[in-house]
C-alpha cells in the first residue's frame, strides 16, 4: 500500500515537473499572464457538514476576498495522515480537525503557530478556544457538546450524569459503543463521574457493567434515532447537535448539560506550516471565527459558538452551549492521552458488553 502511494507520488511529482518545464518553455518570451486568482486548499468533513461549511464559510469567503477555495473531503485522522505524507511539500493551506489531531500536528511541526493579535476575532473568543495557540495549535471554531439526551414526554428531566444510574430510567437507557467518538467521550465522562481518569478506567467500566442488563448499546447515530423513535428509549449520553437532528425528525428529544461537566468535540481550524500564502490562510481562519459564521453553525447544525460576540435568537441559544455559565461547564479530555488509550479502551469495552 505504502509503496503504491509512494510510486504514485513519484509519478505525480514527475508529471508536475514536466508540466512546469513545458509551461516555462511555452511562456518564455511571452509576457506574464494575467495574475491568477489566489487559491486556498482546505479540508472539510463531507456530507451535511460540508454543505453547510460551503454555504457559511467557503463561498462567502471566496467572494469577499475574490479567491478560489479548493475543498478536499478528508476526516480528521485522514487529514493528519495526508499532512504527514506531504510534510516535504504540503498541499493544504488550512486544515480542520475534530478529534484533537491538532495537538499531534503542532508537535510534529505540521501546522504553524498563529498569534492571537493576527486574528481580528481573537479578542472575542472564549479562553478555551484560544488556549491552544500557545502550543502552536489553531483556534477552536465550533463545539459539539456531549450531554444527556432525554425523551421529554416520557421521562423526567435528568440533571446530572449520575442520573443515568437512577432507577427511574431503568430499561430505557441507551449507551453508545466506544468505536463511536461521541460514545468514547460519553464513556470518559461517566468514568470521570465515578472517580476514574483516562489512565484508570476501572470505575467507568464497573459502573457501565451495572447498567448493561437494562440498557441497549448502539454503535451509530441512526441506531440511536431508531431506539428513541421505536424502542422506548428515554435517556442516552450523546451529542447536542444530534438532539437537534432527532427533533427535526419529529421526536420529543431535549439535550441537558450534565451538572458534573460537558465533554465536547472541539473543531479547530489550523494553519498549515511551510505554505506560501499563510496570510490568506489566516484570513480564512479568522473568517471562520466571526460571530456571523458561528451564528450560522448554531442555526444550521446546533454547534456551539466559541466567539462571545455571537448573537443567537432565543430558540437557538437554548439549544447550544451559549453564554459564560454554560461555557464554564465545558471539559476537554487530553487528546493525546485519549488517542494513546483508544484501542485498549475499545477492546476492553467490547469484552465487557459482549454477551
Partner 1 sequence: MSLSTNTGSVGTPLLPPKGVSARVLGGIAEDATLSAPGVFLIILAFILPIGQMLLLSIEGASGGLTTEHFTRFLGDSYYLGIVWRTLRLSLLITVIAAVIGFPLAYVMAHVGPRLRLWLIILVILPLMTSVVVRTFGWMVLLGRGGLIPFTLWKLGLVNRNFTLMQTESAIVIGMVQVLLPFMTLSVLGVVMKIDRRLEEAARTMGASFTATLRTVVLPLAMPGIVAGSLLVFTLSVSSFITPSLLGGVRLPVVAGSIYEAATKTLEWNFAAAQSVILLVGVFLVLLPYLKLTGRRHG
Residue 8 Cβ, how far from partner 1 at the closest point, in Å? 16
Nearer to partner 1, 201 or 298 (CB): 201
201 is an interface residue for partner 1 by CB under 8 A = no
**Positive or negative, the Cα torsion across 59, 61, 66, 68?**
negative
211 is an interface residue for partner 1 by CB under 8 A = no
Q: Rounded to the nearest 10 degrees, what angle do helices 240-248 and 221-229 cross at?
A: 50
- Of the candidates 94, 141, 81, 123, the residue with the CA atom closest to the CA atom of residue 268: 141
According to CB under 8 A, which one of 66, 230, 250, 314 is a site residue for partner 1?
A: 230
DSSP strand E in 160-214: where? Answer: 173-176
Nearer to partner 1, 58 or 217 (CB): 217
> Where does this chain touch partner 1 (CB under 8 A) — which range of 252-260, 276-284, 288-296, 347-355?
347-355
Is the separation of the CB atoms in 237 and 147 below 8 Å? Answer: yes
Pattern of binders to partner 1 over 77-96, x per CB under 8 A? x-------------------
Residue 162 Cβ, how far from partner 1 at the closest point, in Å? 24
CA distance 348 to 203: 13
Pattern of binders to partner 1 over 164-193, x per CB under 8 A? -------x-----x-x--------------
Determine phi and psi for 139, rounding to 5 degrees.
Answer: -75, 160
Name residues whose C-beta falls within 8 Å of residue 186's C-beta, 6 or more positions apart in sequence. 146, 175, 176, 237, 238, 263
According to CB under 8 A, which one of 82, 221, 226, 245 is a site residue for partner 1?
A: 226
248 is an interface residue for partner 1 by CB under 8 A = no
CA distance 188 to 141: 23
Residue pointed to by grid coordinates 454547534: 303
343 is an interface residue for partner 1 by CB under 8 A = yes
According to CB under 8 A, which one of 231, 249, 336, 340 is a site residue for partner 1?
A: 231
CA distance 26 to 36: 17
Determine phi and psi for 40, rounding to 5 degrees.
Answer: -115, 140
246 is an interface residue for partner 1 by CB under 8 A = no
217 is an interface residue for partner 1 by CB under 8 A = yes
108 is an interface residue for partner 1 by CB under 8 A = no
What is the contact surface with partner 1 in residues (CB under 8 A)? 1, 77, 171, 177, 179, 216-219, 223, 226, 230-232, 342-343, 346-347, 350-351, 353-355
Amino acid at each position: 500500500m505504502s509503496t503504491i502511494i509512494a510510486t504514485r507520488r513519484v509519478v505525480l511529482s514527475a508529471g508536475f515537473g514536466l508540466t512546469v518545464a513545458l509551461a516555462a518553455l511555452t511562456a518564455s518570451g511571452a509576457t506574464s499572464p494575467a495574475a491568477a486568482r489566489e487559491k486556498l486548499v482546505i479540508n472539510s468533513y463531507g456530507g451535511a457538514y460540508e454543505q453547510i461549511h460551503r454555504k457559511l464559510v467557503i463561498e462567502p469567503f471566496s467572494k469577499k476576498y475574490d479567491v478560489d477555495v479548493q475543498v478536499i473531503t478528508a476526516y480528521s485522522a485522514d487529514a493528519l495522515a495526508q499532512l504527514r505524507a506531504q510534510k516535504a511539500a504540503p498541499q493544504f493551506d488550512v486544515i480542520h480537525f475534530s478529534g484533537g489531531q491538532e495537538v499531534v500536528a503542532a508537535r510534529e511541526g505540521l501546522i504553524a503557530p498563529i498569534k492571537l493579535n493576527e486574528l481580528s476575532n481573537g479578542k472575542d473568543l472564549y479562553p478555551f478556544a484560544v488556549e491552544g495557540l500557545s502550543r502552536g495549535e489553531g483556534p477552536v471554531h465550533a463545539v459539539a457538546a456531549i450531554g444527556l439526551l432525554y425523551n421529554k414526554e416520557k421521562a423526567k428531566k435528568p440533571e446530572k450524569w449520575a442520573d443515568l444510574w437512577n432507577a427511574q430510567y431503568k430499561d430505557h437507557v441507551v449507551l453508545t459503543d466506544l468505536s463511536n467518538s461521541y460514545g468514547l467521550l460519553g464513556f470518559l465522562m461517566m468514568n470521570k463521574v465515578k472517580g476514574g481518569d483516562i489512565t484508570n478506567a476501572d470505575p467507568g467500566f464497573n459502573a457501565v457493567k451495572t447498567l448493561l442488563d437494562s440498557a441497549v448499546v448502539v454503535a451509530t447515530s441512526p441506531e440511536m434515532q431508531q431506539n428513541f423513535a421505536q424502542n422506548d428509549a428515554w435517556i442516552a449520553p450523546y451529542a447536542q447537535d444530534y438532539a437537534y437532528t432527532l427533533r427535526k425528525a419529529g421526536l420529543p428529544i431535549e439535550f441537558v448539560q450534565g451538572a458534573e461537566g460537558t465533554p465536547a468535540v472541539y473543531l479547530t481550524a489550523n494553519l498549515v506550516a511551510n505554505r506560501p500564502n499563510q496570510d490568506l490562510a489566516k484570513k480564512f481562519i479568522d473568517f471562520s471565527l466571526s460571530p456571523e459564521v458561528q451564528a450560522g453553525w448554531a442555526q444550521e447544525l446546533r454547534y456551539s459558538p466559541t466567539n462571545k460576540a455571537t448573537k443567537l435568537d432565543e430558540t437557538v441559544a437554548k439549544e447550544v452551549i451559549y453564554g459564560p455559565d454554560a461555557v464554564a461547564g465545558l471539559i476537554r479530555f487530553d487528546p493525546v492521552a485519549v488517542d494513546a488509550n483508544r484501542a485498549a479502551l475499545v477492546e476492553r469495552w467490547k469484552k465487557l458488553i459482549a454477551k
